[in-house]
Amino acid sequence: MSPTFDRLVAEAETVSVDGWDFSWLDGRASEQRPSWGYQRMLGEKLAGVQAALDVQTGGGEVLAGVGKLPPLMAATESWPPNVAKATRLLHPLGAVVVANEDEPPLPFGDAAFDLVTSRHPVTIWWDEIARVLRPGGTYFSQQVGPASVFELVEFFLGPQPEEARNARHPDDAARDAAAAGLEVTDLRSERLRTEFNDIGAVIYFLRKVIWMVPGFTVGHHRDRLRELHERIEREGPFVAHTARFLIEARKPG
């Protein structure tokens, strides 16, 4: 017999969502990964530079998993629980974590870094990225693309306008990078299958990725959560599709 709705809800509503580690979802949800392998590519790029910056590092989990860091490695993060977690993870590896609001300017001087990276940034301040890159330096990022997991978003919020569906398009990122004076050298995108096996996984995901369903709470959305729980029990996993794109841009030398 499967766990009851109330038990699943209680568990997912109280578990910590600090950091950017989704291991709590193991066995409860699955997400197909992009073919390019961001963390592997990140490690290769970090191995070839002297000074690097990871913007919006989250809890530092991705950066901590790449292996050897360059001699000068900095990371920024705005959310205090993530700042604390990233500090614990990254300081022993020789990286400094700087608490910084996701607003310009970045707290670094001009031309400070050979490489600026970011995985799933919420905001991208292209002029600031260009400013802190040295001539010949590179920005490398995996980002969330348009209409990502919108099957789940629209289950709770209803049909979304075309403007929302087309937001975060890779072509817009390439245009904004070029406007900041960067040369886009790589741009690729994929849509990937995601499955939620129980309502606890849905709750955890929406508590952690707070911009998907703004203002999400179990209390406010309980009726829809119960409806989705019954659908999963009846039909199997809820299927959605994530959108991801990779962008690499170079500052002219």
pLDDT bin (cut points 50, 70, 90) of residue 217 is very high
Taking alpha carbons only, the member of 196, 173, 168, 192 closest to residue 184 is 173
What single letter denotes the amino acid at residue 176?
Answer: D
Mean pLDDT over 35-43 rounds to 98
Domain boundaries, the chain: 5-250
pLDDT tens column, 137-149? 999 999 999 999 9
Whether residue 169 has pLDDT greater than 70: yes
Residues of the chain with pLDDT > 70, as a percent, come to: 99
Residues of the chain with pLDDT > 90, as a percent, come to: 94
Whether residue 229 has pLDDT greater than 80: yes
Euclidean distance between CA atoms 161 and 164, whole angstroms? 5
Mean pLDDT over 123-133 rounds to 97
pLDDT bin (cut points 50, 70, 90) of residue 94 is very high
**CA distances for 84 relative to 22, 225, 241, angstroms:** 17, 32, 32
Whether residue 236 has pLDDT greater than 80: yes
pLDDT tens column, 50-73? 999 999 999 999 999 998 999 999
Euclidean distance between CA atoms 70 and 148, whole angstroms? 33
Whether residue 19 has pLDDT greater than 90: no
Q: How many CA atoms are closer than 13 Å to the CA of 74, on its beta-carbon side?
A: 17
- Calculate the average pLDDT of the chain: 96
pLDDT tens column, 100-112? 999 999 999 999 9
pLDDT bin (cut points 50, 70, 90) of residue 2 is low
Say what the pLDDT of residue 113 is.
99
Whether residue 92 has pLDDT greater than 50: yes
pLDDT tens column, 195-215? 999 999 999 999 999 999 999
* CATH 3.40.50.2300 holds for 5-250: no
109: Cβ contacts below 8 Å, ≥ 6 apart: 132
pLDDT bin (cut points 50, 70, 90) of residue 1 is very low
